[in-house]
Amino acid sequence: MKQAVKSGKRTKRRIGEGRGGRPTKAEAQAIEDRILAVAADLFARDGYAATSMERVVSECGAGKDTIYRRYPSKRAIFDAVLDRSRRRIMARLGDLQVRQSSQDSLAQLKELTSLLLDINLDPELVAFKRIAASESLVAAGSHAAPEPDAIMSLLRTSVTKAQADRHIVPGDVNFLTDFLINSIIVGPTTLAMFGYKPLASPRERKLYFEKAWRLFLGGAAGRRDG
């Protein structure tokens, strides 16, 4: 009688397929991180329409049930990807605040504005903004939280501190904050959304920022010139 020959090949385990029990909290978080990282890459690279749930399943090696239990539709996973992006942005801003404790108010405002320029030129975020702008159904029907007011609030607070220390002119903080954003961030971000690659190198970005910052201070300087 011939003995059955065991195959030397092992079946590749998909993420989310555990040892028969429920995954630990750490394992569940790792699964979610993997799913959202793959989905973010697909949305950013190929757009909303070309990214299907089936492609997410295939690319991240997850079981269908694993993904659909968490995200019942493409809209749901897209919203989760946006929320993930916003949380990462807020974490970067939080880290900056911790580092800035010993700086004066004008230095804090400058560093915050520089970081916001970097964030707005991040290719992944540019891609998500392009999706929201070009695919109106996605933007109109999204259930994700709105663009966080916390970012604008943080910037207004920083402007207010610089005003209080007489580094920049007093007046309408909302107008001055909008002026700051339009002076430095809007132009390069708009070019990026149209497919250009402005300020591609760190050196180009630094040179641009320093020049734009000086021009901003030229219009907003109080007692102290920039």
Say whether pLDDT at 134 is over 80.
Answer: no
Give the lowest-confidence range in 84-88, 149-153, 212-216, 218-222.
218-222
> By the 8 A CB rule, do 131 and 202 touch?
no
203 CB-contact burial (10 Å; exposed 0-12 / middle 13-18 / buried 19+): exposed
Residues in the chain: 226
222 CB-contact burial (10 Å; exposed 0-12 / middle 13-18 / buried 19+): middle
Q: What is residue 22's predicted lDDT score, i.e. its pLDDT?
A: 74
User: What percent of the chain is predicted at pLDDT more than 90?
Assistant: 59
Give the lowest-confidence range in 108-122, 133-147, 172-186.
133-147
Say whether pLDDT at 214 is over 80.
Answer: yes
Mean pLDDT of the chain: 83
Q: What is residue 123's predicted lDDT score, i.e. its pLDDT?
A: 92
Residue with token string 């790792």: 30
* pTM for this predicted structure: 0.78
Say whether pLDDT at 30 is over 80.
Answer: yes
Mean pLDDT of the 137-145 span: 49
Say whether pLDDT at 226 is over 70.
Answer: no
153 CB-contact burial (10 Å; exposed 0-12 / middle 13-18 / buried 19+): exposed
Q: What is residue 149's predicted lDDT score, i.e. its pLDDT?
A: 77
Higher pLDDT, 169 or 11: 169
Say whether pLDDT at 17 is over 70.
Answer: no
Say whether pLDDT at 133 is over 90.
Answer: no
